[in-house]
Amino acid sequence: MYLYDSYDQAMVDARVEEFRDQARRRLAGELTEDQFKPLRLMNGLYLQLHAYMLRVAVPYGTLSSRKMRMLAHIARKYDRGYGHFTTRQNIQYNWIKLEDAPDILADLATVEMHAIQTSGNCIRNISSDQYAGVAADEITDPRPWAELLRQWSSFHPEFTYLPRKFKICVIASANDRAAMRLHDIGLELVERDGRIGARVFAGGGMGRTPMVAPEIRDFVEEDELVSYLEACLRVYNRYGRRDNKFKARIKILVHELGVDEYRRQVEEEFAHMRQLGIQPPTEELDRIRAYFAPPVYETGLPEEVDRSDPDFALWLDRNVLPHKQPGYAIVNISLKPVGGIPGDASADQIDLMADLAERHSLDQLRVTHAQNIVLPYVKKADLYTIWQQLDAAGLGTANLDRISDMIACPGLDYCSLANARSIPVAQKIARRFAGNGKEEAIGELKLKISGCINACGHHHAGHIGILGVDRKGTENYQLLLGGSGAEDCSLGAITGPGFTEDGVVDAIERATDLYLAQRQEGERFLDTYRRLGMAPFKEAIYG
């Protein structure tokens, strides 16, 4: 894992002191809320429905046990004993006091963490594959690139006031586990003629106008990638719509210019950037790479796992994935207990996950965009003891990629932008399908819920998506089918008129019953939907 050098630490420490002074001036009345709001947002501090909310950056979802314990400490000392892991691989706290915020940032800085650029019209946390470094299908570890881009984008003076927020994702396998093409820029590291470089996709995103990012270049050499991204951002910064917030994302620019024209402008700018020599020296990427060198794996470890405990065996089948190293496994810890709040974890649970990582996963954890936690380096021989401890703490739910492993944004229970609640719907769906046994029969089904059009809950990318809307002051839910955030990326289509909270649960059951009746060998819900099209599902849902 990357460790701060003296520059990183000095920057973060200086920001804490700057914010301490800004908060003091606000509390003393020297700053108005209008003056203070952009300053607090630059430090991830929002004002939400019930209190201030602090969003802490987890760079490309990577945490050490020490950092994880700090997240528990903050939940316990400054919040109400829990935190919420988000689809941006970050964590949010819902009950923060302004007067505590500078101390929280100071505590975070002691473990090389912060909340900088988790809000505002800047380049946000770089996201990546939660299995980076351990997935058998990756061609290289994407984390050094993600870290290079983190450093490049942190406090980048030219990109601090972009037309709108900007999200970048880096993956390194053909299997997309990070919704790469639904980012403003998506990078897929690929190999060509023995060299590593990046395929570049630009102009993806969800929200009001969802778009799958088109490819704008099939290969950028690694020693030119920063210059190329600089060119992409420059064109956007210059021509992105600043007159209309709803048209300000890069996806609208790419769409309005057309991919070819956007690409042409980027190439022109890229030619110029090359001459400027702004590309960091390759030694810098090598320096960063050294932090992500593969660990010294033990060899000769047993492959066999005793499956005699049926609950454990179920969890093994659902939540444990193959590792590229013999004798090791990747453990997914579901933060989706049936009837629980997707993505929430208590301080005690966060501490337990930190302890397990320290003892059994080379001190490392990952946050996934599906709001779960990963232990990436687990010896198979340790799986049973890990599961027992997780299970005892309410973290042993065996439902990875099943219907109850759903993404849900905070919705109207916490979010001031929401139209409708997300969490109660998520809970009802999980209870219904876990209770009637259909979850098991259905198999993989990615369900995603957003409480408003901003789509933090990725509803466009759900095999089944739910969007909360406000219908004359009451909560109403639109249903979408056929989305995917994976390598077969697609956007869901709305089925028709919306539903009440209970109505949408019934509608999903009718859609999944049709799937169970019509599926062919090996088909997931998404595959059957794609084969049959919307019409029979509509018929089943609305009858």
* Partner from another protein, ligand SF4, none contacting 462, C-beta within 5 to 8 A by type: none
State the first-to-last Cα distance of the chain, in angstroms, to the nearest integer: 54
Q: Is residue 466 within a helix (H) or strand (E), and if so which, with residue range?
A: strand 464-471
Shortest Å distance, C-beta 408 to ligand SF4: 8
* Partner from another protein, ligand SF4, none contacting 456, C-beta within 5 to 8 A by type: ligand SF4
Residues 336-365 that bind another protein (CB under 8 A): 341
Token pair belonging to 357 = 């990582």
The answer to whether the Cα torsion of 524, 526, 532, 537 is positive or negative is positive
Residues 322-341 that bind ligand SF4 (CB under 6 A): none
Confirm or reject binding of residue 538 to another protein (CB under 8 A): no
Token pair belonging to 210 = 């969802």
Structure-token match 């709305």, residue found: 494
Of 1, 11, 41, 98, the one binding another protein (CB under 8 A) is 98
Residues 387-416 that bind another protein (CB under 8 A): 412-414, 416
3-state SS, 139-180, equals CCCCHHHHHHHHHHHCCCHHHCCCCCCECEEEECCCCCCCCH
Q: What is the CB neighbour count within 10 angstroms for residue 337?
A: 18
Whole-angstrom CA distances from 103 to 13, 16, 23, 117 are 12, 8, 11, 18
Confirm or reject binding of residue 93 to another protein (CB under 8 A): no
Of 214, 376, 410, 498, the one binding ligand SF4 (CB under 6 A) is 410
Distance CA 127, CA 410 (A): 20
Token pair belonging to 477 = 């839910």
Q: Which window, 39-47, 124-132, 296-304, 406-414, contacts ligand SF4 (CB under 6 A)? A: 406-414
CB nearer to another protein: give 25 or 242: 25
Is residue 72 within 8 A of residue 113, CB to CB? The reply is: no
Confirm or reject binding of residue 415 to ligand SF4 (CB under 6 A): yes
Residues 414-443 that bind another protein (CB under 8 A): 414, 416, 418, 421, 423-424, 427
Is residue 367 within 8 A of residue 90, CB to CB? The reply is: yes
Is residue 51 within 8 A of residue 98, CB to CB? The reply is: no
Distance CA 503, CA 510 (A): 11
Q: Which window, 14-22, 251-259, 450-458, 516-524, contacts ligand SF4 (CB under 6 A)? A: 450-458
Token pair belonging to 155 = 């406090």
CB nearer to another protein: give 279 or 427: 427
Q: Which window, 10-18, 45-53, 270-278, 458-466, contacts another protein (CB under 8 A)? A: 45-53
CB nearer to another protein: give 61 or 340: 340
Residue-wise over 493-504: b if at least 16 C-beta within 10 A, else e? Answer: bebeebbebeeb
Of 375, 455, 493, 507, the one binding ligand SF4 (CB under 6 A) is 455
Give every CB contact of residue 474 below 8 A, 6+ residues apart in sequence.
none
Is residue 131 within 8 A of residue 85, CB to CB? The reply is: no
Q: What string marks each residue from 468 to 507 as x (binds another protein by CB under 8 A) or -?
A: -----xxx--------------------------------
Shortest Å distance, C-beta 56 to another protein: 17
Longest CA span, the chain:
68
DSSP state, 350?
H
Token pair belonging to 42 = 């630059």
Of 235, 418, 511, 526, the one binding ligand SF4 (CB under 6 A) is 418
Q: Which window, 44-52, 191-199, 223-231, 276-284, contacts another protein (CB under 8 A)? A: 44-52
The footprint of ligand SF4 on this chain (CB under 6 A) covers a number of residues equal to: 13
Token pair belonging to 290 = 């050294």
Of 45, 68, 178, 452, the one binding ligand SF4 (CB under 6 A) is 452
Whole-angstrom CA distances from 448 to 70, 259, 434 are 29, 29, 17
Sheet arrangement for strand 474-481 = 407-408, 447-450, 464-471, 474-481, 493-494
Confirm or reject binding of residue 40 to another protein (CB under 8 A): no
Q: Which window, 2-10, 38-46, 444-452, 483-491, contacts ligand SF4 (CB under 6 A)? A: 444-452
CB nearer to ligand SF4: give 411 or 462: 411
What is the chain's length? 543
Tell me the residue type at 498: G
* Partner from ligand SF4, another protein, none contacting 454, C-beta within 5 to 8 A by type: ligand SF4
Distance CA 186, CA 488 (A): 14
Distance CA 122, CA 99 (A): 26
3-class state of residue 356 by DSSP: helix
CB nearer to ligand SF4: give 217 or 471: 471
CB nearer to ligand SF4: give 163 or 410: 410
Distance CA 159, CA 153 (A): 8
* Partner from another protein, ligand SF4, none contacting 457, C-beta within 5 to 8 A by type: ligand SF4
Chain centre to alpha carbon of residue 401: 15
CB nearer to another protein: give 47 or 532: 47
Of 163, 337, 457, 498, the one binding ligand SF4 (CB under 6 A) is 457
Shortest Å distance, C-beta 55 to ligand SF4: 11
Confirm or reject binding of residue 450 to ligand SF4 (CB under 6 A): yes
The footprint of another protein on this chain (CB under 8 A) covers a number of residues equal to: 29
Confirm or reject binding of residue 451 to ligand SF4 (CB under 6 A): yes
Confirm or reject binding of residue 517 to another protein (CB under 8 A): no
Q: Which residues bind ligand SF4 (CB under 6 A)?
A: 409-411, 415, 417-418, 450-452, 454-457
Q: Which residues bind another protein (CB under 8 A)?
A: 26-27, 29, 33, 47, 49-52, 80, 94-99, 341, 412-414, 416, 418, 421, 423-424, 427, 473-475
